Structure 1
Amino acid sequence: MRTRNASAATAAHRAAPARRRAAWATLAVAVASGAGLTVVAPSAPAEAAVPATIPLTFTNNSGRTEPIYIYNLGTLLSTGQQGWADAGGGFHPWPGGANPPAPAPDASIAGPANGQSTTIRIPKFSGRIYFSYGQKLVFKLATGGLVQPAVQNPSDPNRNILFNWSEYTLNDAGIWLNSTQVDMFSAPYAVGVKAANGTVKSTGHLKSGGYQGFYNSLKAQPGGWANLIQTRSDGTVLRALAPGHGIETGALPSTVLSDYVNRVWTKYASSTLTVTPFADQPNTKYFGRVSGNVMNFTNSAGAVVTSFQKPDSDSILGCYKLLDAPNDLVRGPISRTLCAGYNRSTLLTNPNQPDAGSAGFYQDAVTNQYARKIHDQMADGLAYAFAFDDVGHHESLVNDGSPQQAYLTLDPFN
């Protein structure tokens, strides 16, 4: 369940709420653990053991002159403790929090100037690498753990800071490192990993002109989508909120996807939606039919295995609430597939989900325009524009079982 921002203390107090789990969705079985995330992955063979820390080279190609601050925050997988890592990869557990939240220790690492690189070491974490321009981020500790930025809240102390983050897991089975826009589109960056054979995989780069192209396209999109953009008083464009946060703040109508949902409901009242959630299990299929306000899914034996109420736009855009996706083998995989189909508006054009290719994504007039515009501007077409954008492997993720080095590159704002 996505944590709502009811207050500064409870709103931002989460290391990885369910709707942000895109970073880990493809990499392992993720189990919520307090405000953090425990990742269970296969053990690596001894000869391929991943060292306790690996280098991450952080390169600043942004073209901007402000100082850069880096933070590596997360859960130490060997102990389950939450904390931060210094530039050498040393782990520091968070001290106890308070109510109201108390300032967290300064976990910042000085980043490179424009045109320069800095190499730090990252430990076996499930967490985030934040970076900010010109100003340090404000982190606080509540009694339940770390309070992270939640800039949809206008009183969040990080609201007027230009920043972004990447999500990663490094464990004995390797690294999973992504670029994400699940919560917002902001300062552009890409991620990469070097394998044992020396090859480098990367993702997250925008097309030339893609940063401005995204904002220009969003501004031109009728229906409230332009209201997702947040600027600073000096005119600096800071970010575009993800549409779920837009509904939360009133920037986007709560009925933004209702017309599409109504049409889906009508279609599958008299026909069947077939979901094959596992690519490696083509014979595992579930069959959805609408009856009243419920879509029931049956298995091949005809038994009802789970049911979904008619989802609202917020449930779809956040992949939670009425489209909750527990870490099981039935409801969760079906829900993930439905969430992807609604966001990409493919449920009317293809009764067999998920779609194998992206050619038919976002073609309906009623769709997740934010996600559509992000994917349009990515150099490789891949992004985490909503929580289950990994359905069908359309996510911006690099993975390697024996990583030699990781990379995070700040890109130009053009």
Structure 2
Amino acid sequence: MLRTLKRRVMAAGLSIATVLGGSLLATGVPSPAHAAVPDTIPLTITNNSGRGEQVYVYNLGTQLSTGRQGWADASGTFHPWPAGGNPPTPAPDASIPGPAAGRSTTIRVPKFSGRIYFSYGQKMVFRLTTGGLVQPAVQNPTDPNRNILFNWSEYTLNNDGLWLNSTQVDMFSAPYSVGVRRADGSTVSTGRLKPGGYNGVFNALRGQSGGWADLIQTRPDGTVLRALSPLYGVETGALPASILDDYVNRVWQKYSGTTLTVTPFGDRPDVKYYGRVSGDVMNFTNSSGAVVTSFQKPDASSVFGCHRRLDAPNDQVRGPISRTLCAGFHRTTLLANPDQPDSGAAGFYQEPATNHYSRIVHAHMADGKAYGFAFDDVGNHESLVHDGNPRQASLTLDPFD
């Protein structure tokens, strides 16, 4: 289950790519309004975790000006990865010493599309293949990072500003929040759990029948490390592959006689697509009645991963439709609302078979925002901060309570 950076630059990269209106790897021509975004900005990492272990920080990604993969040191200087091998070869040590408990460390981040990893007590293991960096894949029991407590944030800094998120797309683990300080001195942040929220997520998963407790991974000594996303739950057998079959079948039955209307762009309400099911295929037409894309009936992996039968290319038709459809499946709102996406969260996750992982994570966030799945930004429910002229970013390691 090795995953290289070619899989996608960030776990939620397609989501942010759509916000940017283009590829994450394309810087384009800087607009006059944002041409002043500097080559690096400060990122302050504050350790409020209450833990005593040494923290290690990594800034890994793609340099937007060249498209090269590599890492940045504490000063924001880019270092390209050397050639990898098959089998994978060890990557250079890209770790940056993080702050002790109760302290802060400021590094500089360059114009990257990538990840800020952090680990407690042990350096992470990164390797290089001929295709690039091998990202940790802790759903694989032989992954060398399996028993390391770590997490990551994802970001893009380019000529149009900063996008920085708190993500749970792949897993829920060591708690943290992110923020940005704007030119006027104001700050905005997201990703912070409610008091007791960290343990609350794990306790809620333990109390949810149907295999959801089996998403939780622990060390041999019993230390809780993380909860895997339901996609990896299906892939590892923790969740049954048939977990969404009944719901998907009912959706397909409903829209064999009813039209599903998708309005994928919030700022373009005139752009609508209309879905109807014929057999195992849902066909979408535009306002002229022409079929623009079609979807095979998805299985649980396709839904939870927003891939395969619900693939979402970074285009202006299939991708936006698929994102909206995938969000409706995760939130199990497609039977209740034939006009997608939903305007509010009140009706999310109401079906017995739903994405309980995302439901639980959202419920324990202080602001209700999370990246519980890749397209949780549909309807703006994601834990993301953005500013077109950022002065400083922040990443806070939060308490494990």
In which range does the TM-score fall when normalised by the shorter chain?
A: over 0.9
Secondary structure, aligned partner of 2:274: strand
**Cα distance in 1 between the residues matched to 2:82 and 2:314:** 30
**Cα distance in 1 between the residues matched to 2:266 and 2:178:** 26
Distance 1:120 1:159, change over 3 A: same
1:151 aligns with 2:143: no
**Cα distance in 1 between the residues matched to 2:6 and 2:302:** 19
What amino acid maps onto 1:186 in structure 2?
A: S
CA offset at residue 195 of structure 1? 0.3
Whether the 8 Å CA contact 2:9–2:61 is kept in 1: the answer is no
What amino acid maps onto 2:73 in structure 1?
A: D
Distance 1:28 1:337, change over 3 A: same
Secondary structure, aligned partner of 2:199: helix
**Cα distance in 1 between the residues matched to 2:163 and 2:22:** 13
Secondary structure, aligned partner of 1:121: strand
Whether the 8 Å CA contact 1:15–1:146 is kept in 2: the answer is no
1:298 aligns with 2:290: no
User: 1:359 — aligned with what?
Assistant: 346
User: 2:372 — aligned with what?
Assistant: 385
What amino acid maps onto 1:213 in structure 2?
A: G
User: 2:320 — aligned with what?
Assistant: 333
Q: Deviations over 1:54-105 (max 9, x none)?
A: 0000000001010000000001111111100000111111111111111110
CA offset at residue 246 of structure 1? 0.9
Secondary structure, aligned partner of 2:25: strand
What amino acid maps onto 1:153 in structure 2?
A: N
Whether the 8 Å CA contact 2:4–2:131 is kept in 1: the answer is no
1:190 aligns with 2:177: yes
CA offset at residue 364 of structure 1? 1.1
Whether the 8 Å CA contact 2:241–2:300 is kept in 1: the answer is yes
Q: Deviations over 1:232-256 (max 9, x none)?
A: 0111100000000111111111111
Whether the 8 Å CA contact 2:177–2:191 is kept in 1: the answer is yes
Q: Deviations over 1:376-408 (max 9, x none)?
A: 000000000100000011000000011000000
1:21 aligns with 2:13: yes
Whether the 8 Å CA contact 1:24–1:30 is kept in 2: the answer is no
Secondary structure, aligned partner of 1:176: strand
Aligned residues: 401
User: 1:34 — aligned with what?
Assistant: none
Secondary structure, aligned partner of 1:339: helix
User: 1:86 — aligned with what?
Assistant: 73
CA offset at residue 145 of structure 1? 0.8
User: 1:256 — aligned with what?
Assistant: 243
1:220 aligns with 2:207: yes
CA offset at residue 328 of structure 1? 1.3
Q: Identify which range, 357-366 or 312-321, moves more after superposition.
A: 357-366
Kindly report the root-mean-square deviation, in angstroms, between the aligned alpha carbons of the 2 structures.
1.5
Whether the 8 Å CA contact 1:29–1:40 is kept in 2: the answer is no
User: 2:310 — aligned with what?
Assistant: 323
**Cα distance in 1 between the residues matched to 2:280 and 2:274:** 16
What amino acid maps onto 2:140 in structure 1?
A: N
Distance 1:410 1:19, change over 3 A: closer
In structure 2, list runs of 5 or more residues that go unmatched.
Answer: none
Query: Structure 2 length as normaliser, TM-score?
Result: 0.97
**Cα distance in 2 between the residues matched to 1:22 and 1:344:** 19
1:140 aligns with 2:127: yes
Whether the 8 Å CA contact 1:12–1:150 is kept in 2: the answer is no
**Cα distance in 2 between the residues matched to 1:63 and 1:207:** 16
User: 1:168 — aligned with what?
Assistant: 155
In structure 1, list runs of 5 or more residues that go unmatched.
Answer: 32-36
What amino acid maps onto 1:181 in structure 2?
A: Q
**Cα distance in 2 between the residues matched to 1:357 and 1:227:** 30
What amino acid maps onto 1:279 in structure 2?
A: G
User: 1:240 — aligned with what?
Assistant: 227
Whether the 8 Å CA contact 2:168–2:372 is kept in 1: the answer is yes
Distance 1:116 1:241, change over 3 A: same
What amino acid maps onto 2:13 in structure 1?
A: R
1:278 aligns with 2:265: yes
**Cα distance in 1 between the residues matched to 2:113 and 2:9:** 13
Q: Identify which range, 117-126 or 18-27, moves more after superposition.
A: 18-27
**Cα distance in 1 between the residues matched to 2:14 and 2:151:** 16
What amino acid maps onto 2:263 in structure 1?
A: T
